[in-house]
Amino acid sequence: MSKNRENSILLEMKNISIEGYSDEVWHPIIKGVDLQIHRGEILGLIGESGAGKSTLGLAAMGFVRAGCRFTGGSVLFGDQDLTKMNEIEKRELWGTKFSYVAQSAAAAFNPAHRLINQTIEASISHGISKTETLEQEAITLYEEMQLPNPTEIGDRFPHQVSGGQLQRTMTAMAMSSKPDLIIFDEPTTALDVTTQVNVLATIRNIVKEHNTAAIYITHDLAVVAQMADRIQVLRYGNTIEESETNKMLKTPKEDYTKSLWAVRSIKKKENKNKEKILTINNIDASYGSGPKVLQNVSIEVPKGGTVAIVGESGSGKSTTARVVTGLLPPDKGEIIFQGQKLTPNLSDRSKEDLRKIQMVYQSPDTSMNPKHTVRDIIGRPLEFYHNMKGKEYTNRVIDLLKMIELDETFIDRLPSELSGGQKQRICIARALAAEPDLIICDEVTSALDQIVQEGILKLLLRLQKELSITYIFITHDIATVKAISDEVVVMHNGLVVEQGMKSEIFSPPHPDYTKLLLSSVPEMDPNWLTKILSSKK
Amino acid sequence: MHPILSTLIKRIGLGIVSLFFVSLIIFSSIQLLPGDFVEAQLGQARTEETVAAFRKELGLDKPYHIRYVNWVTAAVQGDLGSTFSGRNASYANQPQQSTARTVTSLLKPRLYNTFFLAAMTAIIAVPLSLLLGITAALYRNTFYDRAVNASALTTISMPEFFVAYILIIFLASIYQFFPSLSNVTSSTPFLERVYLSILPALTLTLVTVAHMMRMTRAAIINLLSSPYIEMAELKGLSRSKVIIKHALPNAWAPISNIIAFNLAYLIVGVVVVEVVFVYPGVGQLMVDSVIKRDIPVVQGCALVFALTYILLNLLADVISIITNPRLLYPK
């Protein structure tokens, strides 16, 4: 790291300001940020959504998205100021000196072209080398990125390889022209944790080996701790704090920086309850005539407790929720709720059964009608299940708003007038309005920032205490599981790997899959990735 | 079996089913047309006996469903029946001397003319609208884009006959470049046929380009906010490369649909232009036959039109499939 310090400055942004155009006004997005990057150095850029990380990352290439503009400052690359160059001059640098790795590899690859052609496209169009040479080099890069079948994978189309492989291919694509600087924009956010470990390791190796400088953008402090030499924290378009990685983790100066790992500080004491509210016995389920998505799944949910179902995408977590709610009648097996067998199909269930089980979804944006006000959204179950009208109805809506720590001024707002955290609170209030015994929370905090997540989790815990509601909490995030659950169910490929009290699941011995899953969750220790990799070998 | 092949077979099967339903609709709606060929043809002097005999000869005495089955069975074998109007009512009592022509022989030269005009228009209009659409997307919101859009909208806003007469005034009357009458016959040599058909082809080009061009432009611009387009820009590719290499290949499905729609229109919807230029196409034949209550010809034309629509849409489907690697190269 000290060696990097001695290297010369590759790129320097001075007092850069960027504005974005929306609702017919220009809003500041980046408010005078300084940023330096040395040759061969990895700079971590961290902050929550809306902090301006991506905008700043792209601005390092002299690029602003449509509807944005530079309003001040300079981006110095050598003796050139990128903010003063025209498009044609900048195009000479893009794809040669600078490369970009986007968040969603699935969307950033053109579905119409083969991977190899996209990998070497920039180098070909800039005339860096001959096609055959570049293809050979690309294969070497695929090898370095540990892609399976490096000689043949390039002939595939993007939809024919997995998300993790695509993300690695994109890094190879960025490396193809041997750039001086690569911007990684949340490259592992869309990946499962077990996939993320490998992608992180390969990215780190290749960048270090080629001595390429990189700006690594992420919202996950633990991830950036593995990757970066230096970390810069952004909030609302300003730099909050900037220092060497080790120093930042040991002695963060600003409260805001400390709050970035807030969820990790909630620790619910686990409670054991013998009485079961819900028992799922030997469930098999599938969509249409497709393969079995759930196989022989049995889960027990204690009354008044929280069961976290944890697993990666495709593990069958959400399908389990769909079976419990009756949205997907199972192929076989039974669901026993409060001592009685539930009818498999939603449309055959009594209103009372429907009322007792409520759901909160991952994305409040799509689970609320954008044309309904908060009153309509929360009030609908009051009307439907409890026949409330008039003053009683309004009072109850206000009560519910208070329960979720919002005041009555919110009652006439539309979802578009709420923040992400507030929207999720409204969804929780809507579930509460039915006065349910069981709430299924499907990845309810995944789309939210750390601090907002903390607020939502604390709210859920408080409500549980006051109303003794039972939760099934579906998540892929181990930190959330640790924060909120009493019992944990680990799922993988439609099977239950294990179920038990939180303390049992998180202490060894583990089944192989649980071990892999737990070991893949990045920790704050900057040497974590190195340790994991050496322990694998 | 390759999934594309099975999709294709499914589409063809669906096409046949739709054609069957269309034939039902054609047959039953024509029964609803007011007026009667026999009574019209025999005039005031008709007697009950002559009417009955004439009906019998034309097969009109049989019940609807039997007539439908006979018609469809023959049509499947390529026989669309005989026209009514070729017959002479005075021979009604001696059917063996009937001079009726078959619908197919009447339809064939007309159909050739219609396809000729449609092909000629398509050869000009399709490349032109693709070119204009792509360049308008490339230089969007510039003066060029606005000028192309404005002129395209102007031509599409005017009725076809109006466009046709304007062209006649300028290109046939004031400057006598082209003839205003396109009365081709089956013996017209090829080059002369092209020359005679220029004005109707030009009219139809002006009418269809706007639609195709604007849809091409929209299909491409729709893709320009995709992350892979941003990625292409950040590779330092030029704007034209970004559009032609990265946007266009993903826009073929909507574009081919709109082209198929317009080609179908060129075949089935050009009766007004045919009338203006006295061009002997199927459209005119169909309108004439409706006036004469010549039911077999009307049914034949309608069936051919339906078939054209179905085939062109099938073609557009095939193009959407083969330009989509997700379908062409399954996992």
Query: Range with the lowest mean pLDDT among A2-6, A175-179, A283-287, B196-200?
Result: A2-6
Rg (alpha carbons) of chain B, rounded to whole number: 25
pLDDT in tens, B113-133: 999 999 999 999 999 999 999
Strand, coil or helix: what is A450?
A: helix
Rounded to 10 degrees, the C-alpha dihedral B254/B255/B257/B262 comes to: 140
- Give percent above pLDDT 90 in chain A: 53
- Please, are residues A142 and A173 in contact by the beta-carbon 8 Å criterion? no
The model carries a pTM of 0.80
Average pLDDT value over all residues in chain A: 89
Helix axes A163-175, A131-144, angle to 10 degrees: 130
- For residue A233, is pLDDT > 80? yes
**Minimum mean pLDDT among A127-131, A154-158, A188-192: which range?**
A188-192
Chain B: closest CA distance from residue A182 (Å): 11
Specify the pLDDT at position A1.
43
What pLDDT digit, counting tens, does each position of B212-226 carry? 999 999 999 999 889
Confidence of residue B96 (pLDDT cuts 50, 70, 90): very low
In one-letter notation, the amino acid at residue B153 is L
The half-sphere exposure of A280 on its side-chain side, counting CA atoms within 13 A, is 27
- Are B163 and B155 spatial neighbours (Cβ–Cβ below 8 Å)? yes
Q: Does B110 touch chain A (CB under 8 A)?
A: no
Report in angstroms the alpha-carbon separations of A456 from A357, A450, B267.
20, 10, 63
Q: How far apart are CA A203 and CA A44, in angstroms?
A: 14
Sorting pLDDT into bands at 50, 70 and 90, what band is B100? low
Q: What is the pLDDT of residues A370-398, one digit of tens each?
A: 999 999 999 999 999 999 988 999 999 99
Count residue pairs from A and B with Cβ separation < 8 A.
Answer: 77
pLDDT tens column, B154-173? 988 999 999 999 999 999 98
Q: pLDDT tens digits, residue range A421-438?
A: 899 999 999 999 999 999
The torsion angles phi and psi of B159, rounded to 5 degrees, stand at: -65, 150
Structure tokens, A268: 């619910």
| A contact set with B (CB within 8 A) | 58, 61, 63, 65-66, 90-96, 98-100, 102, 104, 107-113, 121-122, 125-126, 156-157, 159-160
> Residue A53 and residue A43: Cα distance in Å, rounded?
12
The pLDDT value given to residue B91:
46
ipTM of the complex: 0.79
Average pLDDT over residues A207-212: 88
Of B231, B250, B323, the CB nearest to A102: B231
Question: Do residues A68 and A16 lie in contact, with contact meaning Cβ atoms separated by under 8 Å?
Answer: no
Residue A134, Cβ density class (10 Å: 0-12 exposed, 13-18 middle, ≥19 buried): buried
**Whose CA is closest to A461, among A324, A328, A319, A306?**
A306
pLDDT at residue A173, rounded to an integer: 94
Q: What does the pLDDT read at residue A262?
A: 61
Which of A212, A217, A230, A213 has its CA nearest to residue A189?
A217
* C-alpha to C-alpha distance for A43 and A214, rounded to whole angstroms: 6
pLDDT of residue A261: 66
Report DSSP letters for B30-99, one per residue. HHTSSS-HHHHHHGGG--HHHHHHHHHHHTTTS-HHHHHHHHHHHHHTT---B-STTS-GGGTT-GGG--
Cα–Cα dist B48/B56, whole Å: 12
Region of poorest pLDDT, from A505-519, A523-537, B102-116, B260-274 = A523-537
Is the pLDDT score of B147 beyond 90? yes
Instruction: Tell me what pLDDT residue A24 has.
Output: 83
Share of chain B above pLDDT 90, in %: 48
* Averaged pLDDT for residues A240-258: 87
**How far apart are the C-alpha atoms of B137 and B142, rounded to whole Å?**
10
The stretch B92-117 carries a mean pLDDT of 76
Which of A70-74, A173-177, A525-529 is the least confident region? A525-529
Per-residue pLDDT, averaged over B294-307, amounts to 89
Give the range among A212-216, A412-416, B46-50, B311-315 with minimum mean pLDDT: B46-50
C-alpha–C-alpha distance, residues B78 and B58, integer Å: 19
Please answer yes or no on whether B233 and A107 come within 8 Å at the CB atom: no
Query: How many Cα neighbours within 13 Å face the side chain of A354?
Result: 12
Cα distance between the two ends of chain B = 14
Taking the CA of residue A433 and the nearest CA in chain B, the distance in Å comes to: 40
Which of B228, B245, B325 lies at the smallest CB-CB distance from A157? Answer: B325
Given an 8 Å threshold on Cβ–Cβ distance, is B249 in contact with A122?
Answer: no
Nearest-by-CA chain A residue for B231: A108
DSSP secondary structure letter of residue B3:
H
pLDDT single digits (tens) B267-295: 988 889 999 999 999 998 998 888 888 88
Distance, in Å, from the CA atom of B49 to the CA atom of A525, rounded to the nearest integer, reads 106
Strand partners, A218: A46
Residue range A513-518: mean pLDDT, rounded: 88
Answer whether the bond into residue A509 is a cis peptide, omega within 30°.
yes
What burial class does residue A444 get, using C-beta atoms within 10 Å of its C-beta: 0-12 exposed, 13-18 middle, 19+ buried? buried
Mean pLDDT of B301-305: 91
